[in-house]
């Protein structure tokens, strides 16, 4: 944290899953109330998630968010009315490289494009979990080839967390300069466009809102949140996040079972 981070925070960007939401995907009243206190104090608040836009609507409504939000790890920035403010999609060459690599390993492979969730194997790892998280059904296809020119996100899901960590290391050198792979959860490896990261999204929103970076804050729990930690004037990691994520943040709050977001807002964001 720079000395400038001593300035009052005017904007907080928060991850959703593993951060605002409990492990059962519920949103606690404590977090809802804390966000309301931010608004009452004149501090802007919105969310950045690896989710597709339509899978964020329930949380956005529950929190009363009336600002643009960030989907697909920064692949889409969405206006409050649901229209797309910015979209960064994966280069076709990179999308094909990812799918070819993942096909050689026992992972559940998903492609998000055309506001749909496409998969080949509906019985793959975490399909039921994702169905519950997103609140809508996948579309089963025989091949991802027809969609490779307009992909928002590719996901490899697996119960083998070490495999995903290894695939992240293997894949990034193959798609360098074209796309980026980062784990949004221990069990999800997300691939998005190079500019589709939460750090770039925070920069875009801060400029849109006319707020200096030194007066921005970010909170999250996953590897895909580190990019916004590096841009924000103040960064906060969730207590249950991996050690590699926690050490990138200025502060560590409680876990998502302990209403860590509400605690962080009270301790680090709201004016004394």
Q: What is the pLDDT of residue 213?
A: 97
Q: What is the pLDDT of residue 2?
A: 40
Q: What is the pLDDT of residue 184?
A: 86
Q: Percent of the chain, pLDDT > 70? A: 98
Q: What is the pLDDT of residue 6?
A: 73
In whole angstroms, give the CA distance from residue 265 to residue 166: 35
Torsions phi, psi of 222, nearest 5? -115, 170
Query: What's the pTM?
Result: 0.85
pLDDT tens digits, 33-44: 999 999 999 999
Q: Which domains does the chain have, with CATH numbers?
A: 3-87+196-269 (3.40.50.1000), 92-193 (3.30.1240.10)
In whole angstroms, give the CA distance from residue 15 to residue 216: 14
All residue ranges of the chain with pLDDT < 50 are 1-5
In whole angstroms, give the CA distance from residue 172 to residue 191: 9
């Amino acid at each position: 944290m720079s000395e400038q981070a001593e300035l009052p925070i005017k904007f907080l960007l928060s991850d959703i899953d593993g951060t605002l939401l409990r492990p059962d995907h519920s949103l606690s009243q404590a977090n809802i109330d804390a966000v309301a206190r931010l608004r009452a104090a004149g501090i802007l608040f919105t969310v950045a998630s690896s989710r597709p836009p339509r899978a964020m609507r329930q949380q956005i409504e529950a929190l009363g968010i009336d600002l643009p939000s960030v989907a697909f790890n920064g692949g889409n920035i969405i206006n409050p009315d649901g229209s797309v403010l910015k979209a960064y999609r994966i280069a076709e060459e990179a999308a094909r490289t990812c799918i070819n690599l993942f096909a050689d390993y026992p992972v559940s492979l998903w492609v998000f494009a055309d506001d749909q969730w496409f998969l080949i194997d509906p019985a793959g790892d975490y399909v039921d979990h994702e169905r519950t998280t997103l609140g809508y059904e996948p579309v089963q296809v025989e091949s991802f080839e027809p969609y490779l020119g307009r992909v928002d996100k590719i996901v490899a899901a697996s119960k083998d967390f070490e495999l995903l960590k290894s695939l992240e290391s293997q894949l990034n050198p193959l798609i360098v300069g074209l796309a980026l792979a980062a784990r949004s959860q221990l069990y999800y490896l997300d691939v998005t466009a190079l500019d589709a990261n939460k750090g770039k999204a925070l920069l875009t929103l801060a400029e849109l809102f006319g707020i200096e970076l030194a007066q921005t804050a970010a909170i999250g729990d996953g590897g895909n949140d580190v990019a916004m930690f590096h841009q924000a004037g103040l960064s906060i990691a969730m207590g249950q996040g991996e050690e590699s994520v926690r050490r990138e943040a200025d502060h560590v709050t409680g876990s998502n079972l302990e209403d860590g977001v509400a605690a962080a807002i009270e301790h680090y964001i709201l004016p004394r």
